[in-house]
Amino acid sequence: MKDFVKTLLAVVCGFIVLRILRILLLFVFLGAALSSGSSSLPHQGVLDMDMSTFVLGEQSQEAQMPQAAGLMSSMSLDMTPVVGMHDAVAALRNAASDPAVKYVLLRADGMAVGMSHAEELRAALAEFRRSGKAVIAYTENPGNGSYYLASVADKVYMGSQHGGNATLIGLSAQLTFVKDLLDKVGVHVQLIRHGKYKSAGEMFIRSASSPENREQNQVMVNSCWKVFSGAIAQSRNLSEESFNALVDKLSLIQPEDFLNNGLVDELVDHEALLDKLCTLAQVDKAEKLGLMPFADYVADRVKAFPGRNNVAVIYADGEIVEGKEYDQVAADRFVQVIDQVRKDKSVKAAVLRVNSPGGSVSASVKIRTALDLLQKEKPLVASYGDYAASGGYWISNGCQKIYSDATTLTGSIGVFSMIPEFSGVTKKVGVTMEAVGSNKHSDMFSLMRPFDHAELAYMQASVEDIYESFVNLVATSRDMTPARVDEIAQGRVWTGADALRIGLVDEIGTLDDAIAYAAALADFHSSDEYQVVGYPQPLTLVEELLMSFGMAPEEPSILADTPFAGIAKAAQSLTKQQPSAVYARLPYMLEIR
């Protein structure tokens, strides 16, 4: 008995000590973060846009938290600031008239930016140039996205050293199919959908793309690349044909290839680059350049304080889900945010900024209902980021006007339900499952047997009903006939450029364009007459730290960061599905490489 008591006391004491240590560590980390985040900008200098030092996202955040496991193992914080799209544009607009900023030094290598974010940032840099100040770009490893951004500059310099990793080779979408793998382990996925292009779930039931899926992906990639290649060719005074010929022939390998084909203006080593930067800044040595880190400039110069006349930007950033999660568009929490905007008398108009691949239909319905109530009282305009597809399009297609970037992925008007069943697994491992139910189909969602014909028909009827509702919703909102919507729907994903042509969006434009239009609907004639306020408020650094310490770290997948990462994502997607739920979601997420 005494040993038991001693052991119990030791465990309790250990638990208390551990909690105290966690609290102490929290304050240590917080102090380190606050001290590292404090900075003073030079009185005058060069705005340094090193894209590897910050993340360009939807909303600015004090820091991007690493995983809790990383915190505990390294005992330090490697904080990466997140700069919101609107704040980034506002900072560049401010810098154009700021006498402290001489010019912009753009270093796009290593950027973490989506396609439409790159498109909007490039437009903001072009606007900055129109002020008469220069944008100078420097690259060592130009890729599709980084060179697209750099090509807007007045001058593009490239490192003269060989051994770099130039990957300006065109865009591609890589699809993963795991049916053969699932067959080997005895998992069978039952996919019920409407829309011949609705490819979400195909990875689990096919070994290769369907013809429709292949078609839509080819058209989509071509459309995005046309935006990139067209802008690059125009900026560098090339024809699109000649630029694409260089890419197709893999002619851009060494720095000299970029120089000889007119894609960069000069090859320089580090000292030569500094000399050029000093000459442009009119200083005699590099120490006097006064480099201003872009994220610090944003934090110092871009401060929005709500006033009596506000335009709200409601950020629908992430997957649409039920519940109150902070890192997704969670319906219960998001509806409260929308209601807050609706009831706030200082908010005169609103912009719904959508950067979502969709998700739960039931959650989308809740959010759309709240947005419709908001629009009855205040102007509501939509702005699309990287994605506004499926559920993302469901919640936003009723807005008074829809702005989209040319590379936004939108549409995907279709629904699906996906139910795995594991009877093959149980047979392989020698386990027998037996169900006892009150009715004939009580165990249809047990996942231990395939659906029969009646159950498949039951699920198909649900999918068909929701698809019809989706089509009718779009038809009413976009002033189309249901037949026309069905023709361009079928789950097909469109780029913003193509969506404009078929009437799914109204104009190619940025978030700032949408804000200006919403403000005009509220009878504001100048940006000086209103403030832009973001909803929901992003988590503070303290809140992120507290959440990080309160959450158990996830075990890293053995497939992560390998060519098989797509399989890991597929497995995660499969395990997250609710058997009876119907989804309106994009089948993939794209990254610029």
High-pLDDT (> 90) share of the chain, %: 62
Whole-number pLDDT of residue 587: 55
- Say if 85 falls within a structural domain: yes
d(CA 342, CA 371) in angstroms, rounded, equals 9
Phi-psi sector, 374: left (phi>0), alpha (psi -120 to 50), beta: alpha
- Say if 583 falls within a structural domain: no
Query: What residues does 362 pair with on adjacent strands?
Result: none
What secondary structure does DSSP assign to 302-361, as a single string? ------SSEEEEEEEES-EESS--TTTEEHHHHHHHHHHHHH-TTEEEEEEEEEE-EEEH
- Say if 255 falls within a structural domain: yes
Helix (H) or strand (E) holding 257: helix 255-260
Extract the residue ranges of the chain whose pLDDT is less than 70: 1-39, 62-78, 539-593
**Structure-block tokens of residue 217:** 């992906």
- Say if 436 falls within a structural domain: no
d(CA 580, CA 416) in angstroms, rounded, equals 11
Whole-number pLDDT of residue 418: 84
| Residues in the chain, total | 593
- Say if 475 falls within a structural domain: no
Q: Minimal CA–CA distance to 181: which of 501, 567, 504?
A: 567
What b/e readout covers 484-508, taking b as 16+ CB neighbours within 10 angstroms? bbbebbbbbbbbbbbbbebebbbeb
Structurally, the chain folds into a number of domains equal to 1
Helix (H) or strand (E) holding 165: none
Residue 2, exposed/middle/buried by CB under 10 A (0-12, 13-18, 19+)?
exposed
Q: Minimal CA–CA distance to 405: which of 120, 128, 146, 151?
A: 120
pLDDT digits (tens, 9 = 90+) for 397-424: 999 999 999 999 999 999 888 888 888 8
pTM assigned to the model = 0.84
State the CATH number of the domain containing residue 159: 3.90.226.10
Q: Which amino acid is at 42?
A: P
Q: Where are the alpha helices (DSSP H) in 130-249?
A: 144-150, 179-185, 202-205, 211-235, 240-248
Helix, strand, or coil here: 134? coil
Q: Minimal CA–CA distance to 336: which of 346, 327, 323, 349?
A: 323
**Structure-block tokens of residue 414:** 């279709």
> 559 CB contacts (<8 Å, ≥6 apart)?
565, 567, 568
DSSP state of 527: G
- Say if 104 falls within a structural domain: yes
Phi-psi sector, 237: left (phi>0), alpha (psi -120 to 50), beta: left
Phi-psi sector, 282: left (phi>0), alpha (psi -120 to 50), beta: left
**Residue-number span of the structural domain to which 163 is assigned:** 39-169+250-301
- Say if 111 falls within a structural domain: yes
Work out the end-to-end distance of the chain between its first and last CA atoms, rounded to an integer number of angstroms.
64
Query: What strands, in cross-sheet order, belong to the sheet with 329-330?
Result: 188-194, 415-421, 583-585, 358-360, 320-321, 329-330
How many whole angstroms from its chain centre is CA 398?
22
- Say if 77 falls within a structural domain: yes
Q: Minimal CA–CA distance to 490: which of 411, 427, 381?
A: 411
